[in-house]
Each structure stands twice: as C-alpha cells, then as structure tokens.
C-alpha cells in the first residue's frame, strides 16, 4: 500500500519542475493524478510517462476562471472525486524596482498565483472528499521580502492568507490546508530568476545563491516533492494552517 493508494490528486503546473516530480512520486505511492497546466506537449508527455490509467491532463490557464471550472469538470468526469488539491502553477514575473515594475506583469503574477489558487479551491473543493488535503506552493518569498521581485513576493504572501482562511473554513470537514515554501530549487524557473537577478550565467548565478543558503546548495524538485507527499498523505493528519519550509535554512 502506497501513502496515497488510490487517492486522486489535482496538480496545477503538474507538467514540469516541482509539479512533475511530485506527480511522479505521488503515482509511485499509488495515486491517480489530474495534471492541469499550460504546456500541451509536456502534459501529454507526463501522461505518457505515468500511464493513461493513472494520469489525465487538462490544458488550462489557472488565471481563467471559466477554464478552471472546465478542467474540474473534466477531472471529475474522469475520476469522480478528489482527495488532494495541489495548487503549484506559477511564474516569476519581472525583475525590477517597484517604481519601474510593469503594472500589467504585476497583475498577471497576482492572477496566476492568487486567483489561480482561489479558483482551484473554489471550484474543486466541492468535490474534495472529507479528510482531504490542500497544498499551495508558495515560496521562501512568501515569508520574507526580496528586492526587485515585488509582484512575486506579494503573490506568494497572499497565498498564505488564502491558506489560513481555507484551513479554518475546511477544518469542519477534516480537510487540511497548508502552504509549501521551497527555497531555491533546481528548475529552469529558478535558473531564470537567478540569472536575471544577478546578471551572471547560470552556473555562477547558482553558486551565488548557494553561498546564501546555510546548507550550501539548492533543493532538488524531488526533495520538494517529498515534502508535498508528507502534506498530501495521512501521515500529516494533524498538520493544518502551517507554512512548511524546505529551504536549507535560508529563511530561518
């Protein structure tokens, strides 16, 4: 018996990086996964990797409420219910001072992280079985500030507010709601942030970030996936309304 034996998990941004590594681990623990994301090719590849008996994908922009409603309809038609909602989709936005930050990018970053997580919760929670788990991938940037990343930092803090409200609202159904706070994790998403914020090439930018992390290195997507597995499964049955950090001590 796996830790998620026959549980149904919706994962946004499930086709790459942390989402894909989590989907892989969840399937190995017996789960069915509904992958919701933007990249049609990567989604198809992921379904192929996990097997169409275990995985199903919807090409969906989570910032579009109508599209989220449609994705949930597709997921329920395929699986009948959910046990875990994992809102993980995200973008970094621009690297710029607040006075120069493009307002349209600020709005887009908030829409994807905050409205996206809200739409998933609003429209999928009615199909979430009692005793289920909701996980939102925030960030170290959801706990502390950072220069030149105001939209991302604002969005990741706002997800904590959504999580805390939802944890109180859903507790009566024994549904737990937590945020995950990865530190720098080796994915193309993070490479891009690091190169833009340091102006260095990928290797030197990564080294500069490693030097700021007490444990001296980036996390791997698989290490974040194990934290997500803990929150998704019943081994964390008394954990709700928590901000769970996996960052090698960076925000400690």
The residues annotated with a catalytic role in the active site are 152
d(CA 236, CA 131): 11
Strands 176-182, 128-137: pairing is parallel
Residue whose CB is less far from ligand NAD, 133 or 139? 139
Q: Which residue is nearest to ligand NAD (CB)?
A: 17
Task: Report in angstroms how near the CB of residue 2 gets to ligand NAD at its nearest.
Answer: 23
At closest approach, how far in Å is the CB of 242 from ligand NAD?
16
Report which DSSP code applies to 92. -
**Please, which residue, 45 or 129, has the CB nearer to ligand NAD?**
45
Specify the residue, 38 or 241, whose C-beta has the smaller distance to ligand NAD: 38
Alpha carbon distance 52, 250 (integer Å): 39
Strand partners of residue 181: 245
Task: Please identify, using beta-carbon distances, which residue of 65 and 129 lies nearer to ligand NAD.
Answer: 65
Specify whether the CB–CB gap between 176 and 133 falls below 8 A: yes
Least CB distance to ligand NAD at residue 188 (A): 6
In the complex, minimum distance from the CB of residue 189 to ligand NAD, in angstroms, rounded to a whole number: 3
Closest of 55, 41, 53, 50 to residue 11, by C-alpha? 55
CA distance 105 to 84: 30
* List of residues contacting ligand NAD (CB under 6 A): 12-13, 15-19, 37-39, 60-63, 88-91, 112, 137, 139, 182, 184-185, 187, 189-190
Q: How far apart are CA 171 and CA 224, in angstroms?
A: 25
């Amino acid at each position: 018996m796996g830790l998620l034996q026959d549980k149904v998990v919706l994962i946004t941004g499930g086709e790459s990086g942390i989402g894909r590594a989590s989907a892989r681990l969840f399937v190995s623990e017996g789960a069915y996964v509904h992958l919701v994301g933007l990249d049609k090719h990567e989604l198809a590849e992921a379904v192929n990797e996990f097997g169409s008996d275990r995985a199903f994908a919807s090409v969906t922009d989570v910032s579009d409420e109508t599209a989220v409603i449609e994705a949930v309809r597709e997921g329920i038609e395929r699986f009948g219910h959910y046990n875990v909602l994992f809102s993980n989709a995200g973008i970094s936005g621009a690297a710029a001072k607040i006075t120069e930050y493009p307002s349209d990018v600020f709005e887009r970053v908030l829409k994807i992280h905050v409205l996206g997580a809200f739409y998933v919760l609003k429209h999928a929670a009615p199909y979430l079985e009692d005793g289920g788990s909701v996980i939102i991938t925030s960030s170290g940037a959801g706990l502390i500030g950072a220069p030149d990343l105001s939209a991302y930092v604002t969005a990741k803090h706002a997800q904590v507010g959504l999580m805390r409200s939802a944890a109180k609202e859903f507790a009566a159904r024994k549904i737990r709601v937590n945020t995950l706070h990865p530190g720098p994790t080796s994915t193309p998403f993070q490479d891009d942030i690091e190169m833009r914020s340091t102006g260095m090439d990928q290797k030197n930018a990564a080294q500069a970030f490693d030097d700021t992390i007490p444990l001296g290195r980036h996390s791997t997507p698989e290490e974040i996936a194990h934290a997500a597995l803990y929150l998704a499964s019943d081994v964390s049955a008394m954990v709700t309304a928590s901000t769970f950090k996996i960052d090698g001590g960076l925000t400690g």
